[in-house]
Structures are given as structure tokens and as C-alpha cells.
Amino acid sequence: MIQHPPTPLDLFSEAQQTSIIQAAFHILANTGLLIQSEEATRQLRRAGCMYGDGDHLLFPRDVCDEHLSTAPSCFTLHGRDSRHDVQVCGDHLLLSPGYGSAFVADAEGRRREAGLGDFQQFARLAHHSDLVDITGGLLVEPADVPPHRRPVVLTRALLQCSAKPLLGSVAGDEGARQSIDVVRIVHPDLEARPAVLGLININSPLRLDARMAQALLVYVRSGQPIILTPGILMGITAPVTVAGALAQAFAELIGCVVLTQALRPGAPVAIGTGGFGSDLRMAGSGFGRPEQALSNVLAACLARKLRLPYRASPGVTGAFTADARAGYESMMTAFAAWSSGAHLCLQALGILDHINAMSYEKFALDLEVWAYLARIASPTAVTDEALAMEAIAELPADYLAADHTMSHFRRELLTPALCPALSYDAWQETGGPDTLKLARERVKAMLAEAAPPPLPDDVSRRLAAL
């Protein structure tokens, strides 16, 4: 986990925050949401929601206020042991790798279909990386595993390759149930110690489809936390203005939070925007654009106002290969998520091509991005020892051999993994390796070291029997 800055970046005035939240409540009360699940609709109607003139369910303000008050501002996800437990709240952000990519891209950007082997390798990398807190969920969509088998096969792979918390399947009620049942083999006390997240995507504008609604019901009733994310694309699935898109996004988020609390008061839930901007030249998404970074900052501010944990989608890019564009877009969105005070970062490592592809090299590059941010986030000691008055008073020609330097340099100076200690001449003599080559070598070394954490024999047998 990475510490937040002491004061999160805030680009909204109090009056602007209030205006957007009030607009969201107005949308819910007067336009409402289309909930494509009879069971979810029944629960909401019992809670006080009602139909207007059409198929959209209206959410009165008092109903929203009542149910928002029961949503917790903090929850814990559990690993196999307490070393991997994480709190989704507070003064730190958590990292989880890519989610939902159908392809794997090589260093030149050439794509191929992802396979189960890729899924397992990304899971092993996630477990091996100290900066990653949650292994992930649909790290890639493996073409060699039939869709109806993925909830079981992929959840089992996550449990076999990592001991960290994970995200489960949201392929309707059946996929969600299968995924949770598999996790329960490793975590028999799952209801008391939640270990698996469900990512519920809202189909903007103002619609929760049957598949996602059914998965939501299963996760909430099983006591597992969910993340709510609207499908906002400015000018495509939401208004083209930032304020209008945020108002619609928070109407969708608040309405679905109400559903979780109507089902189970106190159900753990996080909210956040995934994508946000768009490219209207081709009616496509805007991952990695400034508007996505901006939405991370502004939406995090609104989530604090609602006292709900906030999810961001940093480290993403629209670049097709791990080039300079991938670097600056990923660093920008990552820095925005950190400085805004986001609690949970999905798709934080490995993403290319608007989340259509994952890249091994990009995974290593993103680890470097987050290591830089972790160093920036580290508290700076201002003590007598750190001020170094005695060392300065000695007037050394340089500090290279000073005792003070020897005592502190390992803690004070980050050693980047992808910046070799070479002069220009030495770099030329070694063939002038570029950063992508170094990233590829780092991934190979990590995979060689990343032994899957052992499971008890009886648990392994039960997982194998699936």
C-alpha cells in the first residue's frame, strides 16, 4: 500500500461539490434508474422506491439518505493469513493489476489472444510484487477456457498462484456463486472474513443490467464487498461536460449503493469511475486522457463527501505499445489517483490499448511508476540526524564516503529497477539496452522467483477436483 499525501488534491469548492451531489439526487428522484432485475426491483420498492411514468425506478431523497447512512466507510479484505489483509479506506491506496483484457501485446504492440498460461503468469507476478495488494480478477480473458468454465477455472488459478485477496467472477448469478464457492474452499469462514471482491459495472446511461444486478445480489448476500463503476464516456454514454458526466455517474452510483444497503444494511461497497473521458473522433473511450485523471481527482472528492471508499483506474493508457505515450499517460493517471486520495486502484499495472490488451513489459514499467510514487509518498524525516549538521560542518570535498551517507543512503535514495548504473560508454558497450528490454528481463527474473504459495494438501486436492 502507498500512503496518501497529507492533504488530498481538491479541485472543487464546497459549493461545487454540493451542486453536483444535489444534481445526482435530482436525477434519481425525477429520472431514476432502469434496474433489469425483478428481485432487485422488489427490494428497492420495499425500501421506498417507486415507478414514475416509465420503466425507470425513482429514488426519493429520504430513501437515499437513509440507506447511504448504513454504508460503511471502511472494510477489510482478507488474504490467507493476516500478512495479506488490507483495509479499503483510510490514508493509503491499494493496487490491483489489469482487468478484462482479451489480448496480450508484445513489445512492438502486436496482439495475440490471451490464454490461461498468461492469466496464471500475471497472477504470479501480482503475488510476487510487493507493491500489489490485491491479486486481481479477470487479469486477462483466456480464449482457451470456455466462458462457462471461467468462473471456476480462473478463481482457482488466482487462489493457486497467490495468497492475496482477489476479485471474483461477475458473470451473472451463476458465475458469481461458482466463484464464491471456489473461494470458500480456501476461506471457509468467508462470510466473517471477506476475501473476494465483485466488480459491478453499471451500464450508463442510468441502467443496471440483469447480469450485473444478479451478480450484485449474490455478492452482497454472501457478505462479500463490491465495487460499483459506471460506464461513463463523455459525450457518448454521459453528458460531454465534466459536471454533467459526474452528476450522472453519482446518480448511478448512489442508486446502486441504495440497492446494496436495502439488501443487507452495512454491506461493504466502494464506488468509483473507471473510464471517463472519450475520443469523439472515433466514438471511443478516453483511457489515459487528462479527463480520466481529472475524474479521479474530482470523483474522489465527491466520494469523501459521501463517506464512501473510492476506486480509481490509474496506470492506464490508450497507447498500443509500451512507448513514451504509455509512460506519460500512465504516470499522469497514477499520480492523479495517489494525490486525490483514492483507496483502491484497479487496472493499475500492465494495461495498454484502452484496457483491450495486457503487456508483460508494461507490467514491469508500471511497477517502476508506482515505486516512484511510493518514494514520493514516504514521510520525510526532519530530525537532528536527518538535518546532518555535523556532516555539513566537516566541510567535506564530497559526501560519498561520509559516515552519514553510509548510514542513510539505502533508505533515502530509491534504486530504480529499470535504470541500470551505467555511464553512456558502458551502456553502449552492453549493446545500448532500452527500457523495454530491461522490463522484459525483469519480468523473466520475477517469474523465475515467483513460486506459487503452497496450499494445504486437502485444499489442493479439493481445488484440483473442480
The pLDDT assigned to 295 comes to: 93
Q: Report the alpha-carbon distance of residue 402 to residue 390 in Å, rounded.
A: 11
Which cell goes with 55? 420503466
Q: How confident is the model at residue 53 (pLDDT cuts 50, 70, 90)?
A: confident
The pLDDT assigned to 451 comes to: 85
Q: Report the alpha-carbon distance of residue 202 to residue 198 in Å, rounded.
A: 13
DSSP 234: B
- List of E strands, 16-143: 34-35, 50-51, 57-58, 75-77, 86-88, 92-95, 103-105, 111-113
Radius of gyration of the chain (CA): 23
Q: How confident is the model at residue 204 (pLDDT cuts 50, 70, 90)?
A: very high
Q: How confident is the model at residue 151 (pLDDT cuts 50, 70, 90)?
A: very high
Contact between residue 126 and residue 164 where contact means Cβ atoms under 8 Å apart: yes
Q: Report the alpha-carbon distance of residue 324 to residue 329 in Å, rounded.
A: 9
Q: How confident is the model at residue 173 (pLDDT cuts 50, 70, 90)?
A: very high
Burial zone of 108 (CB within 10 Å; 0-12 exposed, 13-18 middle, 19+ buried): exposed
**Residue recorded with cell 479527463:** 291
The pLDDT assigned to 52 comes to: 87
Helix axes 242-263, 61-68, angle to 10 degrees: 70
Fold assignment, 2-10+69-377 = TIM Barrel (3.20.20)
The pLDDT assigned to 334 comes to: 96
For the ranges 195-199, 209-213, 296-300, 448-452, the lowest mean pLDDT is seen at 448-452
Average pLDDT, the chain: 95
Q: Quick check: 158 pLDDT over 90?
A: yes
Q: Report the alpha-carbon distance of residue 127 to residue 119 in Å, rounded.
A: 12
Residue (of 228, 232, 359) closest to 289 by Cα position? 232
CA 31 and chain centroid, separation: 30
**Identity (one letter) of the amino acid at 341?**
G
Phi then psi for residue 89, to 5 deg, are 170, -175
Q: How confident is the model at residue 466 (pLDDT cuts 50, 70, 90)?
A: confident
Q: Report the alpha-carbon distance of residue 82 to residue 228 in Å, rounded.
A: 26
- Tens digits of per-residue pLDDT, 21-51? 999 999 999 999 999 999 999 999 999 999 9
Contact between residue 115 and residue 143 where contact means Cβ atoms under 8 Å apart: yes
DSSP 70: T
Q: Which residues are CB-contacts of 200 (< 8 A; sequence separation ≥ 6)?
A: 170, 208, 212, 215, 216, 219, 226, 227, 228, 229, 256
Q: Report the alpha-carbon distance of residue 263 to residue 309 in Å, rounded.
A: 19
Burial zone of 321 (CB within 10 Å; 0-12 exposed, 13-18 middle, 19+ buried): buried
Q: How confident is the model at residue 435 (pLDDT cuts 50, 70, 90)?
A: very high
- Tens digits of per-residue pLDDT, 303-332? 999 999 999 999 999 999 999 999 999 999
Distances (CA, A) of 127 to 3, 180, 296: 20, 20, 26
Q: Which residues are CB-contacts of 310 (< 8 A; sequence separation ≥ 6)?
A: 270, 271, 272, 299, 300, 303, 304, 340, 341, 342, 343, 344
**Identity (one letter) of the amino acid at 354?**
H
Q: Quick check: 367 pLDDT over 90?
A: yes
- Tens digits of per-residue pLDDT, 63-116? 999 999 999 999 999 998 889 999 999 999 999 999 999 999 998 889 999 999
Contact between residue 103 and residue 111 where contact means Cβ atoms under 8 Å apart: yes
Span 341-349, average pLDDT: 96
- Tens digits of per-residue pLDDT, 238-292? 999 999 999 999 999 999 999 999 999 999 999 998 888 999 998 989 899 999 9
Query: What percent of the chain has pLDDT above 90?
Result: 92
The pLDDT assigned to 82 comes to: 87
Contacts of residues 235-238 at CB distance under 8 Å and 24 or more positions apart, as own/partner, are 235/278, 235/280, 236/278, 236/280, 236/283, 237/204, 237/205, 238/204, 238/205
The pLDDT assigned to 322 comes to: 94
